[in-house]
Each structure stands twice: as structure tokens, then as C-alpha cells.
């Protein structure tokens, strides 16, 4: 029996009518005979019902599917750090947890109706699950198109390039960077804006504010799509394009560097070992180094992305890339060694018998960048994070260009790059990049190094010695104390900050304190102020130490202590770094009370 309107009242009236008709025996028999004479088999009415179901489940191409509203409630602790929201996988697997954060991102993004969104990640455990949900949510929130890396794979710099090249409004980058992966390890979500870079503080603050009040998230009722086949598919009226994650990025690299010279170098016997650490750069490195440049098969090690990174920690430092370091320091070392991290934005550079610190790498690349065709016109400026050594400052001074000191976090470089005030940027945490994207870029740094070596025709050791003879050497190390109880780490920083005004003039061994402060940054482009970005203690003669709590971990707090000693040209330029920093190491504990506050007598990681 048909009825209208479709409501409680309409249904009640239809039931009452049916009861009245049933009481009239003659009328009821006529209804029965008419019903039995109608074909309600699967071939007729059943098929129509099935067609209706298919229409509702997957409407015709371009037709908007009904949006489902899922009630929810806020979770504590969804404030994005310098690189997005990072937590343990088990946290993200809670019902509504990832959805709440993604919806908060979408709610904070203006102008998303009909816009393009880039989605991809580093291939770690839980990536595919969240990508499928993010696609459905993007459709429900009115995006017109989603570009997704094949297999859910997109390195962070490649995602930045896609956003910029195709005019996307932004992108979701699913990664916990250099942190380990697997069911019991780490996961993360970061939003990049339309310039391809990480969301600035105004956006992350809006996202965080929304996570604290969110009451619903939106989706469409459709199944998972095939992420492994390149092509397009419709999801809830939104076009989803599965794209080759490597092709556009590789073409960009070929436009910046002299691939002919690099091919000739490889053909001439120059050898390379690149450790992709079972992470996202594997497919990129295979295509660029082995397929396009002609380095021998096997040049790329650990080149298949794995959800748990082969049970390894995908952080390209001397602890987690020990096998590569040992190879490069051995008798059978290739000419050049390099590695990249989980999402492809960090790098490790090691020549035959010579490790190059990230701070020195930035300075050496800046001094020689003009040898690559993409930078033949020179640099507009250099930018470095405050904890990064001042080695790049001396290069900038020699080149007659500005050097900007920013807070930690690549997002602070975005304004400088967009304004044309800087060309090359770097962080001591092994991140280096340029204005070609708005992220640090591990493979870019490796290719620039190779291009410079091809042009200068000298090994890494000779280039490093030549650089220090010209500019002097900044002996440098970072000591990480990981997973400290948060209240103990906060107490250490609070007590140290309170002591800063009384430090100038005091001596710690041979070191005399010249100044001490809490670093604050005034953005030269928009005038915004970022305060409390790290505690600095500067010594007479140019040495210094910096104390920061890191925002990239997933549990407890990581105390980072940065130690730097400057040795001018003509001084002791080839000494062991620990020996040169011994006085600073002792002073750091005396000044901050590291052992007293944390119970730690040595750092967990030294880089």
C-alpha cells in the first residue's frame, strides 16, 4: 500500500486504512486476487529494487551521493605539532579518531567546494585504511577531485609538487616521518596548504580549535576503491584520480639537475649506495638513480616500501643507518653514500670516509648550488632553523645574500620562499630543500650533491676540506634524550628559562657565557611573531648551545640539546667532533641539570 508523505503520520494512516479494508471480506478478496495476478518475481519487481539499490549505492558519474552525518565527540590531544598530528597507531584506530581530525581539517579549509585535494602517504601501516576513509570524507565535504598516489604512496616532497603543479587547494600527507611504523608504532596526518607547504600556525590553530568542539563528521556510503590501478573513478560525485607517484617528481628533478652529466659520471665508474630504509623513496630512487641515470642495479638498497619499514627505524642518522655508515667507512666503500627517511624529506650524506653533518651539508650545497642548472642564476637568500649551525651564515655573507634564522619547522620557510627572499633552506634534523617545492626534500639534496661532485670532479672529502679552509668549521652535534616524562622535561625547561637572566658573565670550565635568551622570531614577510622557540646560551668566541623540546615524537617528550663550536679558517679543522665539544657537553649538564631533572646520564641518540 502506497502512502504519502513518508512520515510517522503517513504510515499510521496507511495502517489504519489497511485494517478497515481487511474488515470488509469482499473487498479484501478482490485485493488478494489483484495482488496474486501481478508479477513480483526477481525478473520484474525484484530487479527494479536491485537497480534502485545500485543507483543509491553508486550514483551515475558526477551525480552527488547522499551525505551521511556521523555523530561524534571531541578527543583530547589532537593539537597538530610542527609536522601535523602524530600518535600511536592504536590511538588512530579508535572509532572516530582519524575522522575527527580529518573533518576538523576540512572544516577549517575555506573554498573547498569543487576544489582538488591531494592525498598520499609513506606506505606505513594504517595508511591505506585512512586514505580510503579520507576519500569518502572528501567527497562528502564537497571537494571536486582527489589526486591519490598509486598504492597510497606519495613522498612528502612529491605531494608538495603535485599540489603546486595541479593547483590543488591542499593535501593530506599521511606519515609520521622518520618515526617507526607497524601496528604498535606510529602514524600521522598533516595538512599542506595550496603553496604545497605545511599549514601555518593560523591554520593549525583553527584545526585544533575545531577538534575541541567537533560534533559530527561527514562521509558517503560507498566501498573502498582500487588504489593500485592508475586511472579515474567516481566516489560520491567526486572524481578520484590514481596517479603515478614518481613521474611528475622525476621530471621536476630532471629540470633542475644536469642528468646528462650524472649519466656520464655513472658510466665513468662513479659508484653510489642509496639506502631507502624500506620507506617511501624506494620507487623514486629506483626510477631516478637506476633507470634514468644508469647507476648499477643494487645501487638502491631497501628500496621496497614496507608497512613496518622492515622492523627498522627509518631515520637517516648514524644510529639507524649504521649499516650504510659502516660501509662508507670501510675499505670497499663506494664513492658516495646517502639515505632518506620514512616520508622522503630528510637525507643523510656520507662520502668515502667522511660523514657530512646536515648543517655542513646546507652550507656546502649553498656555496656550490650555482653549478646545477636550476640554480645557475645564483641564490636569493638562505634560511636555516635556529638550532642549525651558523655555517650557512658565513656562506651567505661571502655571497652577499641574506641568511634568515627561523624557528624549527619547515612551515616557517614558506613565507620566505613565496616572497622570493630565500632559495635554499635547511634544518639540522637532516632536512634540506629549495624553492622547487615547499617541503624539505631528501632526494633533491642527494641529486644536488651528485651534480656538484660531477661538476667539480672531486670527492666529498676534498670538497669538505676546501669548504672549511675557506669558511672555517662549525663543530656540531645534537643530543636527543627521548621519551622523558613530560612533567620532568617541562620542569627542566622552566627552571632553565628562569635562570637565563643570571647566566651572562658566568663561566663553565673554559666557557664564558656572553648572552642567554628565549628565541623569538619576527617573520619579515607578514610581521607575525613566534615566541618561545628554544632557549639559547651563547658563549664568547662563537660557541653556543640550544635547548628545545621536540614536537615530532608520539609519547613523552624529547629533549634536544644542540652543541656548536666554531673554529676559524686556519684553526683545528680536522679534529674529532666529540673531543672538540667536550667542554660544551659538560657545561650543558651543569647549566640545565639534565641528569638531575631526568635521571639520564647520556643521550639516547647523538647526531
What is the DSSP-derived secondary structure letter of residue 403? E
Q: Do 82 and 408 form a contact (C-beta atoms < 8 A)?
A: yes
Cα–Cα distance between 100 and 97 in angstroms, integer?
5
Name the maximum alpha-carbon separation found in the chain: 115
**Listed residue (345, 72, 313, 284) closest to 185, CA to CA:** 313
pLDDT tens track for 112-125: 999 999 999 999 99
- Tell me how crowded residue 143 is: count the other CB atoms within 10 A of its CB: 26
Does 57 have pLDDT greater than 60? no
- Predicted local confidence at residue 182, as pLDDT: 96
pLDDT tens track for 174-223: 999 999 999 999 999 999 999 999 998 899 999 999 999 999 999 999 99
What is the DSSP-derived secondary structure letter of residue 64? P
- Predicted local confidence at residue 56, as pLDDT: 47
Does 165 have pLDDT greater than 80? yes
- Predicted local confidence at residue 162, as pLDDT: 98
- Predicted local confidence at residue 184, as pLDDT: 96
Residue where the block lists cell 628562569: 498
Burial class of residue 218, CB neighbours in 10 A (0-12, 13-18, 19+) = buried
- Predicted local confidence at residue 605, as pLDDT: 84
Does 34 have pLDDT greater than 70? no
**Listed residue (465, 462, 452) closest to 368, CA to CA:** 452
- The secondary structure element, H or E, covering residue 490 is helix 486-499
CATH topology for 249-471 is Alpha-D-Glucose-1,6-Bisphosphate; Chain A, domain 3 (3.40.120)
Burial class of residue 213, CB neighbours in 10 A (0-12, 13-18, 19+) = exposed
> Of residues 83, 160, 175, 177, which has the active-site annotation?
177
pLDDT tens track for 557-584: 999 999 999 999 999 999 999 999 999 9
Kindly give the residue spans of alpha helices, DSSP state H, lying in 109-190.
127-140, 156-165
Q: Do 61 and 234 form a contact (C-beta atoms < 8 A)?
A: yes
Choose which CATH entry (3.40.190.10, 3.40.50.980, 3.30.310.50, 3.40.1390.10) describes domain 473-606.
Answer: 3.30.310.50
The answer to whether 12 is a known catalytic residue is no
Least confident of 35-49, 164-178, 413-427: 35-49
pLDDT tens track for 336-366: 999 999 999 999 999 999 999 999 999 999 9
The pTM is what?
A: 0.86
Cα–Cα distance between 441 and 423 in angstroms, integer?
13
Alpha carbon of 263 to those of 11, 256, 268, 403: distances in Å? 76, 15, 8, 34
Q: Do 107 and 142 form a contact (C-beta atoms < 8 A)?
A: no
Alpha carbon of 131 to those of 99, 108, 189: distances in Å? 11, 19, 10
What is the DSSP-derived secondary structure letter of residue 198? B
Task: Give me the torsion for CA of 101, 429, 318, 586, rounded to 10°.
Answer: -120
What homologous superfamily is domain 67-244 in, according to CATH?
A: Alpha-D-Glucose-1,6-Bisphosphate, subunit A, domain 3 (3.40.120.10)
Kindly give the residue spans of alpha helices, DSSP state H, lying in 356-485.
358-368, 391-399, 411-418, 442-456, 460-471
- The secondary structure element, H or E, covering residue 135 is helix 127-140
Amino acid at each position: 500500500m502506497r502512502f504519502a508523505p513518508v512520515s510517522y503520520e503517513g504510515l499510521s494512516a496507511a495502517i489504519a486504512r489497511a485494517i478497515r479494508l481487511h474488515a470488509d471480506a469482499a473487498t479484501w478478496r478482490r485485493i488478494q486476487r489483484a495482488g496474486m495476478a501481478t508479477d513480483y518475481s526477481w525478473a520484474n519487481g525484484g530487479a527494479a529494487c536491485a537497480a534502485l539499490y545500485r543507483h543509491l549505492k553508486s550514483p551515475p558519474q558526477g551525480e552527488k551521493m547522499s551525505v551521511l552525518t556521523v555523530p561524534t565527540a571531541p578527543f583530547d590531544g589532537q593539537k597538530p605539532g610542527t609536522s601535523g598530528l602524530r600518535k600511536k597507531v592504536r590511538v588512530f584506530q579508535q572509532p572516530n579518531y582519524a575522522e575527527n581530525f580529518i573533518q576538523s581539517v576540512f572544516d577549517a579549509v575555506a573554498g573547498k567546494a569543487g576544489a582538488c585535494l591531494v592525498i598520499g602517504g609513506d606506505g606505513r601501516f594504517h595508511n591505506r585504511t585512512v586514505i580510503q576513509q579520507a576519500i569518502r570524507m572528501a567527497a562528502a565535504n564537497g571537494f571536486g577531485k582527489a589526486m591519490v598516489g598509486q598504492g597510497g604512496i606519495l613522498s612528502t616532497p612529491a605531494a608538495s609538487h603535485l599540489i603546486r603543479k595541479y593547483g590543488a587547494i591542499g593535501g593530506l600527507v599521511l606519515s609520521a616521518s622518520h618515526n617507526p611504523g607497524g601496528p604498535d608504532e606510529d602514524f600521522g596526518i598533516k595538512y599542506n596548504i595550496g603553496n604545497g607547504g605545511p599549514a601555518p600556525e593560523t591554520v593549525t590553530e583553527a584545526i585544533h580549535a575545531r577538534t575541541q568542539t567537533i560534533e559530527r563528521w561527514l562521509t558517503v556510503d560507498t566501498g573502498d576503491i582500487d588504489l593500485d590501478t592508475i586511472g579515474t573513478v567516481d566516489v560520491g560525485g567526486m572524481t578520484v584520480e590514481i596517479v603515478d607517484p614518481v613521474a611528475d617528481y622525476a621530471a621536476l628533478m630532471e629540470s633542475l639537475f644536469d642528468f646528462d652529466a650524472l649519466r656520464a659520471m655513472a658510466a665513468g665508474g662513479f659508484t653510489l649506495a642509496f639506502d631507502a630504509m624500506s620507506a617511501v623513496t624506494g620507487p623514486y630512487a629506483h626510477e631516478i638513480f637506476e633507470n634514468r641515470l644508469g647507476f648499477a642495479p643494487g645501487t638502491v638498497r631497501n628500496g621496497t616500501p614496507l608497512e613496518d619499514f622492515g622492523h627498522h627505524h627509518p631515520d637517516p642518522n648514524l644510529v639507524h643507518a649504521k649499516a650504510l655508515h659502516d660501509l662508507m667507512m670501510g675499505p670497499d666503500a663506494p664513492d658516495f653514500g646517502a639515505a632518506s627517511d620514512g616520508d622522503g624529506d630528510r637525507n643523510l650524506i656520507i662520502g668515502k670516509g667522511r660523514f657530512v653533518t646536515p648543517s655542513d651539508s646546507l652550507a656546502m650545497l649553498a656555496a656550490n648550488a650555482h653549478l646545477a642548472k636550476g640554480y645557475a642564476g645564483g641564490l636569493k637568500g638562505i634560511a636555516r632553523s635556529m638550532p642549525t649551525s651558523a655555517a650557512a651564515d658565513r656562506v651567505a655573507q661571502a655571497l652577499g645574500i641574506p641568511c634568515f634564522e627561523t624557528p624549527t619547522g619547515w612551515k616557517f620557510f614558506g613565507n620566505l620562499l613565496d616572497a622570493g627572499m630565500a632559495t635554499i633552506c635547511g634544518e639540522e634534523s637532516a632536512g634540506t630543500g629549495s624553492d622547487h617545492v615547499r617541503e624539505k626534500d631528501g632526494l633533491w639534496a642527494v641529486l644536488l650533491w651528485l651534480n656538484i661532485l660531477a661538476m667539480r670532479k672531486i670527492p666529498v672529502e676534498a670538497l669538505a676540506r676546501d669548504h672549511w679552509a675557506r669558511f672555517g668549521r662549525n663543530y656540531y652535534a645534537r643530543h636527543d634524550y627521548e621519551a622523558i616524562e613530560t612533567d620532568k622535561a617541562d620542569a627542566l625547561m622552566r627552571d632553565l628559562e628562569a635562570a637565563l637572566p643570571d647566566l651572562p658573565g658566568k663561566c663553565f670550565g673554559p666557557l664564558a657565557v656572553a648572552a642567554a635568551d628565549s628565541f623569538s622570531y619576527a617573520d619579515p614577510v607578514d610581521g607575525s611573531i613566534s615566541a618561545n622557540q628554544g632557549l639559547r646560551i651563547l658563549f664568547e668566541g662563537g660557541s653556543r648551545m640550544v635547548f628545545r623540546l621536540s614536537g615530532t615524537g608520539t609519547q613523552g617528550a624529547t629533549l634536544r640539546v644542540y652543541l656548536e663550536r666554531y673554529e676559524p679558517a686556519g684553526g683545528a679543522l680536522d679534529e674529532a667532533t666529540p673531543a672538540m665539544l667536550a667542554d660544551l657537553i659538560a657545561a650543558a649538564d651543569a647549566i640545565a641539570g639534565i641528569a638531575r631533572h631526568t635521571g639520564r646520564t647520556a643521550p639516547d641518540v647523538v647526531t
